Amino acid sequence: MGEKARKLLVLYASQTGNSLDAAERIGREAERRGCAASIVSTDEFDASSLPHEEAVVFVVSTTGQGDSPDSFKAFWRFLLQRNLGKYWLQQVRYSVFGLGDSGYQKYNFVAKKLDKRLSDLGATTIIEKGLGDDQHPSGYEGTLDPWMLSLWNTLYQINPEYFPKGPDVMIPQDEVIDQPKYRILYHTQENWEPELLVESDIIQRARGMSPGKLFKDKSKPDCFLKMTRNEVLTKAGSTKDVRHFEFQFLSSTIEYEVGDVVELLPSQNPSAIDAFLERCDLDPESFITVGPRETENSGFCGEVITQVPIKLKTFVELTMDVTSASPRRYFFEVMSFYATAEHEKERLQYFASPEGRDDLYNYNQKERRSVLEVLEDFPSVQIPFDWLVQLVPPLKPRAFSISSSPLAHPAQVHLTVSIVSWITPYKRTRRGLCSSWLASLTPEQETSIPVWFHKGSLPAPPQSLPLILVGPGTGCAPFRGFIAERAIQAQSSPVAPVMFFFGCRNKDTDFLYRDFWESHARGGGMLSEEKGGGFYTAFSRDQPKKVYVQHKIREMSKKVWDLLCDGASIYVAGSSTKMPSDVMSALEEIVSKETGGSKEVASRWLKALEKAGRYNVEAWS
């Protein structure tokens, strides 16, 4: 064999799993070319040993408004230490691949700041950073494929020992099918009495074993909620179905604040779960434990609860998204290995190849084909369950901004949810898993819903703080809680004024919580002009020329500026596509106009506001 090839370290920071997926792909492609690769999460890597690495590829995602994944935060704090110096990484070659969404203002912010910091510490870049974009027709892979080819060629030029046979000589896919990273153990049934377990313990056990667990993801729900109200807010003729849901706590009550977020674990369609189990020839009644195989490159993190088995069907229901999420490209690669029909094998190998990437994207992601649908399209494939546990996308809790106030609605949680449905390019109707499940529930069913509470991007404001709120569509949800809370506070002590800008398509059909806002805008209410505030509406489709919230903000330029001068904080919530940047542009114009300064000065002024915690955005796609 000669001298052992050089080793590549792939460090990843992932919030939802995409960066892990990309990191594993880079590792697999390196090993296919004869270069050993180690794939490690940044929260499991000793940052002080970084100078001893020869070649490192970083794969990092950017979440929300430029936020880094939780698993990256301690690593990043270490890199920011002043005592590290500009020669600390002078022996290290590196490259960065970022995953982001160009619909957000701070597109790939984490990758960009990491790239600059590594360079400042003396590291040498192998190739220019790659920036994967969710908006690309093929998703982040549209950038990753050509970026990887460039990476292999440049590494080979630096040192041919990375790829002893050259960067283009690859082991055929059929020969490098790995062992799965997880091992399933089956247990005899007589020792287990699942009916004695509390529901939260079952959920904790299943999700604690799941490979889908990411950084410090709490397996056990904070509590359970029960729906008490399911009301349609939009009127007949609207293009949307937006609901107001009310819940009450079952057993324990969790304290939350306005602006907080609640995550719900949705239930999957029982008949689809049964169809998946039958298609994969799995025994739903068998008892299993799931644990990582001991391999150097497993990249596994999180607590593993393996001592008490769980029913296989329960594990699938609670951890594996077989009915709504589309599988990754590697799923098709592994399927090709297990296909017994030649035409299916060829098609799957094509889908898994760089040449087939766009066709796979059109077949899979664009159509949002579920794992079950893909398996049904390739009937000769019978994948072992340990591979399915690794490759089926994890069932993720869905996050929603809370639209109630614990002061105004004690022991309750309210949500404002748009029921997601769309038509695919092949004219198939798809529905959002969680929103359509919620819409189907009734209070009479008394369904227990597992939930987790956490802080969002909108800190609860003190009552003395003037507010400028911008919340078109369901972006109004958190501000319903803000206004309800401040109205209660106003009964006993002075409160600061609030301006609220709301927008929707049509006044008659889409005006969410109309009575609530209008009652607070009248007669000395929280949004009344007598109280120094105001309520401003933009109905985009009610006139020939579209009017959006940013137009109404510009119309109120003087009042907005005066409130900012009085120390107001700005809160923006809603769709991430264009709205947050359009609102920022309108505010830049106002600051520039009212101060007589340039656009650049205005932009710096708003950035300083953001840094001081007075400009907060919560956006979702």
Query: What is the pLDDT, as a whole number, of residue 302?
Result: 42
Among the listed residues 139, 143, 132, 50, the one whose alpha carbon sits nearest the alpha carbon of residue 99: 132
Q: Is 123 helix (H, G, I), strand (E, B) or coil?
A: coil
Upper half-sphere CA count for residue 317 (Cβ side, 13 Å): 16
pLDDT band at 300 (very low <50, low <70, confident <90, very high): very low
Residue 96 covered by a domain: yes
Please write the tens of the pLDDT for every residue from 371-381.
Answer: 999 999 999 99
Binding residues, by number, are 14-19, 61-64, 134, 368, 398-401, 432-435, 474, 540-541, 546-550, 582, 620
For the ranges 234-248, 290-304, 327-341, 394-408, the lowest mean pLDDT is seen at 290-304
- Pairing label, strands 534-539, 498-504: parallel
For the ranges 60-64, 174-178, 241-245, the lowest mean pLDDT is seen at 174-178
Residue 241's domain is classified under what CATH number?
Answer: 2.40.30.10
Tell whether 531 and 414 lie within a shared domain: no
Tell whether 141 and 103 lie within a shared domain: yes
Tell whether 487 and 613 lie within a shared domain: yes
d(CA 178, CA 390): 12
Tell whether 82 and 130 lie within a shared domain: yes
Which CA distances in Å does 241 have to 421, 474, 512, 576?
Answer: 9, 11, 11, 19
Please write the tens of the pLDDT for every residue from 93-118.
Answer: 999 999 998 877 789 999 999 999 99
Give the pTM. 0.88
Q: Is 118 helix (H, G, I), strand (E, B) or coil?
A: helix
Binding residues for FMN, by number, are 14-19, 61-64, 134
Tell whether 76 and 22 lie within a shared domain: yes
Domain stop point among 391, 418, 438: 391
Query: What is the pLDDT, as a whole number, of residue 197?
Result: 58
Domain stop point among 375, 391, 407: 391
Query: What is the pLDDT, as a whole number, of residue 296?
Result: 42
Please write the tens of the pLDDT for every residue from 139-151.
Answer: 888 899 999 999 9
Residue 605 covered by a domain: yes
Show the beta-strand stretches assigned E in 324-444: 398-401, 412-418, 421-423, 429-431
Which domain covers residue 324, as residue numbers? 269-391
Residue 546 covered by a domain: yes
Q: Which residues contact 68 (CB under 8 A, 6 or more apart)?
A: 13, 60, 62, 76, 110
Q: Is 71 helix (H, G, I), strand (E, B) or coil?
A: helix
d(CA 487, CA 497): 11
Per the listing, tokens 């991430």 go with 576
Query: What is the pLDDT, as a whole number, of residue 191?
Result: 56
Residue 172 covered by a domain: no
Identify the DSSP state of 268. Answer: P
d(CA 324, CA 368): 7
Tell whether 273 and 262 lie within a shared domain: no
Domain stop point among 162, 183, 203: 162
Mean pLDDT over 410-418 rounds to: 96
Residue 210 covered by a domain: no
Residue 92's domain is classified under what CATH number?
Answer: 3.40.50.360
* H/E run at residue 231: strand 223-232
Tell me how long the chain is. Answer: 621
- Pairing label, strands 534-539, 130-133: unpaired
The pLDDT mean for the chain works out to 90
**Sign of the alpha-carbon torsion through 78, 83, 89, 91:** negative
* H/E run at residue 514: helix 514-521
How many domains does the chain fold into?
4
pLDDT band at 441 (very low <50, low <70, confident <90, very high): very high
d(CA 222, CA 265): 12
Tell whether 588 and 444 lie within a shared domain: no
d(CA 276, CA 371): 9
Residue 156 covered by a domain: yes
Q: Is the pLDDT of residue 6 over 70?
A: no
Binding residues for FAD, by number, are 368, 398-401, 432-435, 620
pLDDT band at 294 (very low <50, low <70, confident <90, very high): low
Residue 129 backbone dihedrals phi, psi, to 5 degrees: -55, 145
Can you read off the two tokens belonging to residue 508? Answer: 């008659």
d(CA 419, CA 232): 10
Tell whether 383 and 408 lie within a shared domain: no
Mean pLDDT over 55-83 rounds to: 92
Residue 480 covered by a domain: yes
Binding residues for NADP(+), by number, are 474, 540-541, 546-550, 582
- Pairing label, strands 287-292, 310-311: antiparallel
Residue 525's domain is classified under what CATH number?
Answer: 3.40.50.80
Tell whether 48 and 86 lie within a shared domain: yes
Top mean pLDDT of 301-310, 379-388, 574-583 is at 379-388
Tell whether 13 and 152 lie within a shared domain: yes
Residue 477 covered by a domain: yes
Q: Is the pLDDT of residue 1 over 60?
A: no
Tell whether 487 and 615 lie within a shared domain: yes
- For residue 243, list its beta bridge partners: 232, 417
Can you read off the two tokens belonging to residue 370? Answer: 């579920």
Tell whether 483 and 587 lie within a shared domain: yes
Q: Is 387 helix (H, G, I), strand (E, B) or coil?
A: helix
Longest Cα–Cα distance of the chain, Å, equals 86
